Copies of this chain bind each other. A is one copy, B any other.
């Protein structure tokens, strides 16, 4: 469908219902709704609707449905697969949830918080902390991403090994369906076995089945102490072995276990010159780990025992244990600055894959070999979340490669990487989702029976194909 003046009726009706603040049509005002963190930008939408309540979202959707106009639900623009970017044809109405930002209820006794979809993750975390609770979802984008987007993409991040993905952190949802009806599944019950798991179906559906407008989030007790360590290790195999020991010796108190190759530290130091080499000597692999707890537990004894044994057995070569919060923050800065360091290198391949934890080492070795065979001068930066088997196996193209060759070259390397991944039973999208960017690779691996079920679900919820069409599955119109 192309952008046309025939939608004047719809826009007039939306303007009347939402007011000037609620409907943006001026290209300049719309500019910030057109691109995301990854830099994806496809086209101008029909307009940007900014409803302020669930009821307004429902009416906006009802009007679009009546006019046969496609919709792009939008959160905090921190997606990485172009899932929330309006289509190039200009036929979609962006529905931004940013004005739905009320905290509806905090119940610290029930360890729950009920919030509007447009609440910023960081804000939710702060309010939880004020009630002596944690909301454990932890992402680089937490200062701007919104809860509705976290639900729609089943967000992951740094603390998944301890608390799970968004799927494990949501008890109930409120969703505006593609025809504008509201499904109220906002229960605050920790256990509820009534019928089919609709909330679970919306989680991770990337806005293709409806627009999440509210969520009941599960909180945990606020950690009152934590310890952070940066360790140098000889191999990925040693990293995986150490993870197994850490899971066992740190009970359920391990909250992060991040793998980084030496090159990541170098990129971090390039991007943030105030950082100096944390361990003096250079090691091929590093682990950034964190344990945390509330209550009267001695984390030092636990961690020292783990590290001592790790050193005795040669798994750990060296390590720095943060002695203060400031020192811990400095160690985490390597993890964050490394992302900036990668970005400065310009065009590069960013992936988000997962394999069984037991396959991480063999996969990294085999995949690196296969990539370097094809592109001896590229640089591989494979870092990630060991406890989730989730690697960001990224590739920087040769520095002397002409700019216009980089994209096709990196694409060919991705194809090869995914072939190796298939041999390991891996996933081409561990946490970022499918959106548009990963669609071809997703569909190529989808069995006919699963494709039929997925298309059936889409058709059941959205028979007209108006809700975020062309994401996950191809648009059927």
- Residues of A at the B interface (CB closer than 8 Å) are 107-112, 132, 153-154, 156, 160-162, 164-165, 167-168, 177, 181-185, 187-198, 200-201, 203-205, 209, 220-223, 240, 244, 247-253, 293-298, 301-302, 305-306, 354-359, 385, 387-390, 425-434, 442, 446-447, 449-450, 453-454, 456-457, 460-461, 472-473
Query: 12 A–B contact pairs at CB < 8 A?
Result: A182-B449, A191-B430, A192-B354, A194-B428, A194-B429, A194-B442, A195-B434, A196-B204, A197-B205, A198-B450, A200-B200, A453-B460
Contact present for B294 and A427 (CB under 8 Å): no
Which of B183, B354, B432 is within 8 Å of A449, CB to CB? B183
Which of B153, B160, B190, B295 is within 8 Å of A302, CB to CB? B295
- Given contact pairs A195-B446, A196-B205, A450-B183, A189 touches B355 in the complex (Cβ within 8 A): yes
Which of B168, B183, B294 is within 8 Å of A164, CB to CB? B168
Contact present for B295 and A433 (CB under 8 Å): no
What distance in Å separates the Cβ of A355 from its nearest Cβ neighbour in chain B?
7
Contact present for A189 and B297 (CB under 8 Å): no
Which of B108, B251, B426, B446 is within 8 Å of A297, CB to CB? B251
Contact present for A107 and B356 (CB under 8 Å): yes
In the complex, what distance in Å separates the CA atom of A223 from the CA atom of B110? 26
Chain B residues, CB < 8 A from A357: 109-111, 190
Contact present for B191 and A251 (CB under 8 Å): no
The 6 closest A-B pairs by CB, nearest first: A200-B200, A109-B358, A249-B295, A251-B293, A191-B430, A110-B356
What distance in Å separates the Cβ of A352 from its nearest Cβ neighbour in chain B?
8
Contact present for B110 and A294 (CB under 8 Å): no
Chain B residues, CB < 8 A from A293: 251-252
Contact present for B187 and A109 (CB under 8 Å): no
Chain B residues, CB < 8 A from A177: 449
Which of B111, B197, B426, B450 is within 8 Å of A189, CB to CB? B426
Chain B residues, CB < 8 A from A456: 460
Contact present for B193 and A249 (CB under 8 Å): no
Which of B204, B222, B297, B385 is within 8 Å of A298, CB to CB? B297
Contact present for A389 and B432 (CB under 8 Å): no
In the complex, what distance in Å separates the CA atom of A358 from the CA atom of B113? 12
Given contacts A107-B356, A196-B201, A295-B305, list 19 more A-B pairs with CB under 8 A. A110-B357, A165-B191, A183-B449, A189-B354, A189-B425, A190-B388, A190-B389, A191-B431, A192-B429, A193-B431, A194-B442, A197-B203, A197-B205, A220-B247, A222-B248, A248-B294, A251-B294, A296-B301, A297-B297
Chain B residues, CB < 8 A from A449: 177, 181-183
What distance in Å separates the Cβ of A6 from its nearest Cβ neighbour in chain B?
30
Chain B residues, CB < 8 A from A457: 196, 457, 460
In the complex, what distance in Å separates the CA atom of A164 from the CA atom of B164? 11
